[in-house]
Amino acid sequence: MTGLSESGVPIQGVYGPEDVLGLDPGTALGEPGSFPFTRGIYPTMYRTRPWTMRQYAGFSTATDSNRRYHQLIEAGTTGLSVAFDLPTQMGYDSDAAQARGEVGKVGVAIDSLEDMRQLFAGIRLDQVSTSMTINAPAALLLLLYQLVAEEQGVGAAVISGTIQNDILKEYIARGTYIYPPQPSLRLVADTFAYCRAEIPRWNTISISGYHMAEAGATPVQEIAFTLANAREYVRTAIESGLAVDEFAPRLSFFFVARTTLLEEVAKFRAARRLWAHIMRDEFGARDPRSQMLRFHTQTAGVQLTAQQPEVNLARVTLQALAAVLGGTQSLHTNAYDEAIALPTQKAATLAVRTQQVLAYETDLTATADPLAGSYAIESMTSGVEARARDLMDQVDSLGGAVAAIEQGFQKAEIERSAYRIAREVDTGERKVVGVNAFVTAAQEPYEPLRVDPAIEAAQAKRLAGLRSRRDAAAVARRLDEVRRAADGDANLLYPLREALRELATIGEACDALRDVWGVYKPPEVY
């Protein structure tokens, strides 16, 4: 009897060698660390060092988030990951009318260099790797990070981390865009060039399928649309004058890990194989690092439930296991209470401990790619790869990722999948423990972490103080330089850096770019 996976790939009752005939082990699999990297991008994988345990955190003020970062480091986190509030993500200061009611709610409020200093107070930036989930204003947050490191006496050449900087998926699934696609892509390319010259260890983009998956994308849609976006970034960078092997080794990816463990493992393997061939065969990349798909994984927030939240501990463990068996380079495990509110300190610590149990109490790290050769895994990997390639071809037939976005293709495809999943949950065809199956009559009381609404007024007061202390004429002059660069073709990050050094705010810098580029208005009808 045959069933179907999330992406419609057939799942057989039993697999044998005949189900993977046509798979040439010498070229399709190879060894870990060798082209096409199906089995992982490093020869030893976790045998010499486990994945980076990176916990995503940020809420309220820079002071509150800094306290949580110190707690996570003490709990054994090996990499920080910053969540920003919606005003920061949209390029507005905390005292802007558009920010009302959202300051510090879903992440930390960062308005200026002063906030960034406080966010990393007591944390040496040459001793930690930091990922920042920020897109439209990604260049600005990276520059603030560089300026803080500079004040600590840490050179830009030694800081390491990642900015998400993946603007295309914002038009598809998430919505925190500011500018139209073409100038947004120009800013991405300028960031590639700036980091190559100034911050060589920084990952300049984390091309994300996670948010598309959270919006309802299937595993096939997740990797197909993510790799289609990645192609667009590579083309843009090459057209800007960069050689592919100058920037491609710093590209990275960001995927979800769901509870459907077998297909998730197959998805990660298929994505590596697809990307290796795209970079070598389509773009002519010769540096093996340019052909490697390096990725961060986060467990699936959309699969967490507010009902019986402790059950989420089991879900997160399964999801983390899928990521590790799939060969992730870093991992964030969600806290069990995130479907209710911001994670409590207890829940955040348990999330770190989940990764530590997998790394140090199991034999997962004893061998590279432990599932290689599984008839089921290899067949599903080929099935996911073929379907993803077909979907990428559809995007290409529409003129590429940007043209497809403008036609609403990816958004419509994801919405169809999301609707199907919602219907299956509503009818009971798809069982969700605690929601439509195995429901209990009452739940134990739970006290969530709440953000104090007074922080909005406090941030506004901080901004007023900053504006009164700084050199207003110097700020205005630097912002004019940003506008001139935006209207020309000079690399924007240099004038942006100097504006931020003079204590220009995130909102003011984004406004300078809005003055030249305008804002994106999505099509009303798809």
pLDDT digits (tens, 9 = 90+) for 286-326: 999 999 999 999 999 999 999 999 999 999 999 999 999 99
Task: Supply φ then ψ for residue 504, to 5 degrees.
Answer: -60, 145
pLDDT of residue 291: 98
End-to-end CA distance of the chain: 38
pLDDT of residue 466: 96
At residue 441, does pLDDT exceed 80?
Answer: no
Looking at residue 1, its pLDDT comes to 42
Model confidence band, residue 81 (pLDDT cutoffs 50, 70, 90): confident
pLDDT value at residue 20: 65
Higher local confidence (pLDDT), 74 or 219: 219
Q: What architecture does CATH give domain 3-32+48-427?
A: Alpha-Beta Barrel (3.20)
Q: Strand 10-11 relative to strand 79-83: parallel, antiparallel, unpaired?
A: unpaired
Quote the mean pLDDT of the chain: 93
**pLDDT computed for residue 25 by the predictor:** 45
pLDDT recorded at residue 16: 65
Give tens-digit pLDDT for 267-279: 999 999 999 999 9
Q: Is the model's pLDDT at 341 over the cut of 90?
A: no
**Lowest-confidence region among 54-68, 455-469, 486-500:** 54-68
The residue extents of the domains of the chain are 3-32+48-427
Radius of gyration of the chain (CA): 23
Distance (Å, rounded) from C-alpha 448 to C-alpha 343?
8
Question: Buried (b) or exposed (e) across 475-513, using 16+ Cβ within 10 A?
Answer: beebbebbeebbeeeebbbbbbbbbbbbbbbbbbbbbbb
Mean pLDDT of 491-497: 98
The predicted structure's pLDDT at residue 10: 82
What CA–CA distance (Å, rounded) separates 478 from 488?
15
In the chain, % of residues over pLDDT 70: 96
On the question of pLDDT at 219 being above 90, the answer is yes
Is pLDDT at 337 greater than 90 in this prediction?
A: yes
Which has more confidence, 338 or 320? 320
pLDDT, tens digit, for every residue of 244-265? 999 999 999 999 999 999 999 9
CA 246, 248, 251, 252 dihedral sign is negative
pLDDT interval class at 421 (50, 70, 90): very high
| Per-residue pLDDT, 352 | 93
What is the pLDDT at residue 26?
43
Per-residue pLDDT at 169 exceeds 90: yes
Structure confidence by residue, pLDDT tens digits, 229-241: 999 999 999 999 9
The answer to whether residue 51 scores a pLDDT higher than 90 is yes
pLDDT at 139: 98
Alpha-carbon distance of 262 to 270, in angstroms, equals 12
The answer to whether the beta carbons of residues 84 and 141 sit under 8 Å apart is yes
Residue 156 DSSP SS3: coil
Q: What is the mean pLDDT of residues 359-364?
A: 94
pLDDT, one tens digit per residue, over 362-381 is 999 999 999 998 989 999 99
pLDDT band at 15 (very low <50, low <70, confident <90, very high): low
> Cα–Cα distance between 430 and 260 in angstroms, integer?
12
- As a whole number, mean pLDDT of residues 141-169 equals 96
Q: What is the mean pLDDT of residues 450-457?
A: 84
Q: For the chain, give me the number of helices (H) and strands (E)?
A: 20, 11
| Angle (deg, nearest 10), helices 375-397 and 261-277 | 50
**pLDDT range class, residue 18, cuts 50, 70, 90:** low
**Letter for the amino acid at 323?**
A
Long-range Cβ contact pairs of 441-448 (< 8 A, separation 24 or more): 443/307, 443/308, 446/309, 446/337, 446/340, 448/337, 448/340, 448/341, 448/342, 448/344
Q: So what's the pLDDT on residue 88?
A: 97
Q: What is the pLDDT of residue 526?
A: 43
